[in-house]
Amino acid sequence: MPDLWSGRLPGGLDPEVRRFSSSLDVDWRLAAYDIRGSLAHVAMLQATGILTEREAHSITDGLATLLDEVMGGAAPWNPEAEDVHSAVEEELTRRVGPVAGKLHTGRSRNDQVALDLHLYVRDATRATAAEVGRLARALLTQADAHQEVVLPGYTHMQRAQPVPLAQHLLAYVFMLSRDRERLWQAYQSADRSPLGAGALAGSTLPLDPERSRQELGLAHLYENSLDAVSDRDFLLDYLAAAAQCMLHLSRLAEELVLWSTREFGFVHIDDGWATGSSMMPQKKNPDVAELIRGRSARTLADFVGLATVMKGLPLSYNRDLQEDKAYVFHAADTVMAALSAMSGLVAHLTFDAAAMAKGLTTELLATDEAEALVRDGLPFREAHARIGVRFRDLQDPPAADRAAIHASLHARDRKMGPGPNSVRDQIAKARRLPWDIGEIG
């Protein structure tokens, strides 16, 4: 098939330029969205009388068959095509003949590719949120089962105050609830149709963008055609949500690496979720956690990469925008795989309550002791100094009395706190959160 612009540039593209500018190896993943967008566009062209019923039917039939094939995993197009849009149109032409040439009426690949990406991000945010929900549930199950297990809580990596393991794990659950919210916001910014914006400034034909928007089930229509073809904020929103989520996973991964050391021994990683060493026979390594921690760099790089593409781009469409997809697909694949691996890792963890109990020394009760003096009327600064003196030369504080640790937790049983009622409330609250976008979207 001749190039889409062969009227203006009949000589044909230099093969090197064709290779250099092609995006099919990346954007083939948009094929189903592209065809769905075309189906909505044709329906609109028919409804507005721009296409006859017969024409619309032939195109629709051809597209529907192609969609079935794509959904079945086929790639029914010429692998030499420039991008997924021209690949689909070329294949449609081969199948239904010249009437396929009417599909692109009143449309540009600029509003077409923007639409494809909006549809893709709506699915990606839902799928990512579902994985976030899976991990949150795995953490909640562990938290629920470990309300009675107590470990030293840390600040500055120094022993600070006792907390139940459940309280520690729930912190990650609430971090994930914010990830879900950010994904929902990304979903909302993607839920907008650019179709009808054309190349940048609409069309003289009597298009009905509202109609195609409805057909696609998108919540809003862009207000401005230049914005519609050049906006990639919704991609950055998704990348930011993915990057933030990976940062959370990376922090959890770091703790699992640390806690699984002989020095801590707080957690045992299941054999199936650990690896050995090719040389040192004794080794059992937390590679899954380390890979998640390492891969968080990738999603961060994806956000920075696309933000750098966008920075300084004039309105409206520029070919630079073709680079957007690789970042988005890469981030989506990375965050979903990492969430899934972390869910499996967490679900298979065994916590060592005895190892944690070894860290429950009297120093963890120092703040409580200072507060007891405050209750007796001493100013807090004075109480702090008086207790502090006792720990000055205490290199190795003795184990705290188990009852004293529990009394300390009970004494701090207020909202947010590590007491048993508060922890139970947090678990109940976390269970009621709408983990999937589908639950509220």
Q: Which residues are catalytic?
A: 156, 277
Considering only the stretches 37-45, 109-117, 230-238, 240-248, report the one whose residues sit in contact with ligand ARG under the rule CB under 6 A. 109-117
Q: What pairs with residue 275 in β-bridges?
A: 285
Question: Least distance to ligand ARG from the beta carbon of 82, Å?
Answer: 7
Confirm or reject binding of residue 189 to ligand ARG (CB under 6 A).
no
- Which residue number, 114 or 252, has a Cβ lying nearer to ligand ARG? 114
Phi, then psi, of 373 in degrees rounded to 5 = -65, -35
Question: Least distance to ligand ARG from the beta carbon of 325, Å?
Answer: 6
* Single-letter amino acid, residue 291: L
- Which residue number, 199 or 355, has a Cβ lying nearer to ligand ARG? 199
Q: Which of 64, 55, 56 is nearest to 35 (CA)?
A: 64
Considering only the stretches 39-47, 268-276, 313-321, 337-345, report the one whose residues sit in contact with ligand ARG under the rule CB under 6 A. 313-321
User: 73 in helix, strand or coil?
Assistant: coil
Residues 360, 388: Cα–Cα separation, whole Å = 18
Considering only the stretches 118-126, 205-213, 315-323, 369-377, report the one whose residues sit in contact with ligand ARG under the rule CB under 6 A. 315-323
Confirm or reject binding of residue 83 to ligand ARG (CB under 6 A).
yes
- Which residue number, 230 or 244, has a Cβ lying nearer to ligand ARG? 230
DSSP 368-402: HHHHHHHHTT--HHHHHHHHHHHHTT-SSPPBPPH
Q: Of residues 322, 334, 408, 426, which one binds ligand ARG by CB under 6 A?
A: 322
Neighbour count for residue 416 (Cβ, 10 Å):
10
Question: Least distance to ligand ARG from the beta carbon of 286, Å?
Answer: 40
Residues 261, 268: Cα–Cα separation, whole Å = 9
Question: Residue 289 region, left (φ>0) first, then alpha (ψ -120 to 50), else beta?
Answer: alpha
Six token digits for residue 356:
């944690």
Question: Any residues with CB less than 8 A from the CB of 36 and at least 6 apart, and which?
Answer: 67, 119, 216
For residues 252 and 176, is the Cβ–Cβ distance under 8 A? Answer: no
- How many CA atoms does the CB half-sphere of 142 hold within 13 Å? 25
- Which residue number, 57 or 104, has a Cβ lying nearer to ligand ARG? 104
Residues 110-149 that bind ligand ARG (CB under 6 A): 110, 113
Confirm or reject binding of residue 230 to ligand ARG (CB under 6 A).
no
Question: Least distance to ligand ARG from the beta carbon of 27, Å?
Answer: 6
Number of residues that bind ligand ARG (CB under 6 A): 10
- Which residue number, 28 or 273, has a Cβ lying nearer to ligand ARG? 28
User: 381 in helix, strand or coil?
Assistant: helix
Give the helix ranges, DSSP H, for 270-360.
287-310, 324-347, 353-358
Confirm or reject binding of residue 103 to ligand ARG (CB under 6 A).
no
Q: At what angle do helices 53-71 and 31-47 cross, to 10 degrees?
A: 170
* Single-letter amino acid, residue 382: E
Question: Least distance to ligand ARG from the beta carbon of 193, Å?
Answer: 17
- Which residue number, 3 or 69, has a Cβ lying nearer to ligand ARG? 3
Confirm or reject binding of residue 232 to ligand ARG (CB under 6 A).
no
Confirm or reject binding of residue 109 to ligand ARG (CB under 6 A).
yes
Confirm or reject binding of residue 319 to ligand ARG (CB under 6 A).
yes
Q: What pairs with residue 153 in β-bridges?
A: 161
Confirm or reject binding of residue 23 to ligand ARG (CB under 6 A).
yes
- The residue ranges that bind ligand ARG (CB under 6 A) are 23, 27, 83, 109-110, 113, 317, 319, 321-322
